[in-house]
Structure formats: C-alpha cells, structure tokens
Structure 1
Amino acid sequence: MLRKIDHKKMGSSESRWLKSLFHFSFANYHNPNNINFGVLRVVNDDLVSADTGFDMHPHRDMEIITYVLDGELTHEDNMGNRNTISRGHVQYMSAGTGIYHSEHNLGKDVLRLLQIWIFPDKKDHKPNYGDFRTDEKDRKNKWFHMVSAKNGEAPIQINQDTNFYVIELDKDKETEFLMGSDRQAYIVQIEGSSEINDVNLIERDAMEVVEENLKIKALENIHLLVIEMKKA
C-alpha cells in the first residue's frame, strides 16, 4: 500500500519568526483523521528566522529527533547539555519522566529542520540527550542508517522499534528500499523530486508505505528521509 501526501494539503502556521508545515495534527492544526502513523506522532518541517527560536519548554514521554537541513540549531536543556548542530546532523532527546529544553537559531541564516516525535515503548524512561554529526559522504548516493532501536546499530538509538534512513541521490540515479513483512514506513521528500513506484513526489511531499518494496528514481538531486517501523 502506498499513499501520497501532498504538502499543500498539510497543516501549517506562520508567525513573524516561524513558518511550519505539519504532517500530523499539531498546535492549532487538528485533524482527527491525521493524528499519527503507527508510532510516528509528529513530523514538523520548520523554518526559523535568525536570532529567534523556541524558549525553554517541557516535554514528557516522547522520543524526539531533530534533523537539521539548513542553518544552525542550538540546543540547551536542564540536564546541562548545550550543543549546536548544522546540515545533516541529528539531535536526539528522550523526554521520559520530564525534561526542559530550548532550541534557537543563533546564526545569520534561516534554519530549516525536521522535528520528529516517536511514541516510546513505555512511559517514564530516564531522560536522555545525544547528537550525531554526519558527513555528506555518509548519505551520498547510499542509504545512511541514522536512528535505530536500542538493540540496533545506528549511531542514534531510541526507545522504540523504529529506524531512520536518509539518502542524497544524484539526478537520474536509482535505488531501492526493501520493506520487511509486517513493517511500514513514512517517507519525507526533503529536497528535489523523485519517482517512487511510479508516483511522483516533489519537495516537502510525503508518502505512507505498508509492506511494499520501493523503487526510487531521482528526477533531480534529491534528499529523502525514510522512517521505518512495525506495522500498526
């Protein structure tokens, strides 16, 4: 099963400093038929103006992954962590029993990021933070396994049976993504346009996939994220 999701039909919001595209219900965008996809609860595509950001605020019982696409993101939390990451880098936070953090764009350019929330395998995990800095070569014309479960092999490991893969594929190149039985995935067309099993996606579109292998062709240089998980 494949279902294309047109980014022009997603939820959105815009303020003087933040422009967001909501793949699922979030903030003042509420669609009772679009709350989650399996354990995937949130995918927000955010554009954050320079010298602005999200001030200190709480989270609880959620696995939160932030993937930076352009600009710089500075994270600070009540556990004493403070780090700045940039394009291709990923940040992980297990909110668990409760955590406060802030996220700011202290740079001069607009920050674009994907913030992704995953339901944990249980409540009340010990809060945790980590980040991983990748090179473009890690994902250039090949899949990079960025996030896995605790028993997996990815550099970022979370409290859920979920895998994140990214790829930057050159124009006209092709690749495959094999889906196991009883598995599903959510695809984000981060940049460029592609053809996936004869379905065209353009920048910021998405696709739900259930138990179906994928043949992917880059119609131009593309950047794709695949969030793979157990079938709901």
Structure 2
Amino acid sequence: MPARAARTPAPASSEALLSIGQVLARLAGEFPELTNSKLRFLEEQGLVFPSRTRSGYRKFSMADVERVRVVLSMQRDHYLPLKVIRSYLSDLDAGKDPAIPGAGAGESVQSIIPAARRLGREDVIAEAGATPHLFGDAISASLITPSDSYTEDTVQVLRALVELQRSGIEPRHLRGFRAAAERELALIESALMPISKRGDAASRAKAQEISGEIAGHFETVRGSLIRQALGRFSG
C-alpha cells in the first residue's frame, strides 16, 4: 500500500471545498455504488489528496472531484487495477500526456470519459423555473454550494425549492437540512469505524453494504416521524 499523503489543513480560498457527503451527492448519478469508505480507500491508495480542516475533516476541491471521476471511470470502463491508474495519474501530474492503458493509441482521459453536463448559474435558474433571488437564498441557506458551474442535481434541488416556495416554505426555513445531513453522515462514519479500520477488501465491501442499510434506516425513521406529525395535523 502506498504511503499516505501528509494531511494539510484546508487552504483559505474563494473556491468552495466539499465534504465527503457533498462529493458523493455530485457523483451519485454517474457512480451510484460510490461510498464514503471508497473515497477514503482512494486516498489511502494515493489516488486523490483531499485537504483537511484543522479538525481533521476531509475537504475536496473541484479538481479533486474530477480526479475521483477519472479514477472511477478508468476502473469501470477499462477494468484497470489501481496500480496502473496511479501510474497514469502520476504521469499526468508530471505534465505528460500518456495514453490510457488498454485504450486506443494516443487516447487521453479527456477523450474517453464524457464530461457531466455543467451548467452556468443563469442556465440552472432558467431550467428550474426559479428566480435569481431564490437561487441566492438557497446558497445562503447552504442548500446549494456556490460554484462556477453546476450539475443536474442542482437543477432538481432548485425545482423542489420553487415548489416549496409556492407553499410558503422558503430556503431559510430549511437551514437545518444541511446540518442534519452532516450529522447523519457523522453517525454512519462512527458506526463503520471499527470495520473501516481493518482495510481489507472484504471489510470495505461490508462497510459499503452496511452504510447503505444505515442510510435506509434513517429514511425509515425520518419518514415515520413526518407521517406521525402529519397525522396529528390532520386530526
């Protein structure tokens, strides 16, 4: 196993840095099997190098997210072992233009991995049928992370906020959603810590399975609480 990169604090920058949960949300459409344990494993293997906050939390730049996308695409589409992918990325980092092992001659990662559709701020607002003011409120409430470009997931979130606004529910009323999601992620990470520490393939697979189960149980409890509250309201 390669030596792990030094854990440096997240730099002070205008670029939005993403948590593990936010990275998973961005890549879920392309890689539904991606989990927080898989992201940690890629870091342990020297394939991606997220920065750290002073508290030790991983923070990913947009460049880190694209690097994860490249690694996962090479695994999925070319069945390449991580050792080969690591060597390929090292050549890229060194300024070279290597061909992907097993791909056509001279074929680069940009030519074989289709880029996810990226949308500008105005495009997102138009497709969601929203207003610039609502978009700004969503960012202020931490429901949308500010960026130079956005994905289809952002459009879906903004569409939901448009519908909620029609019922008198504004983004500011949902500020607790982000904190709740982060708390749930922390609970999952804590529960899987004993398994994740083992590091072997079987343990990683088990951790991935359990994390999905825990998330499903959270949804069940949350849904039940909402239904109970709605029942009291109807009564």
**TM surpasses 0.5:** no
As a proportion of its length, which structure holds more helix?
A: 2
- Shorter chain as normaliser: what TM range? under 0.3
Return the structure number with greater relative CO, CA threshold 8 A, min gap 6: 1
Instruction: Decide which structure has greater strand share.
Output: 1
Which protein has the larger Cα radius of gyration, Structure 1 or Structure 2? 2
Scaled by the length of structure 2, what TM-score is found? 0.24
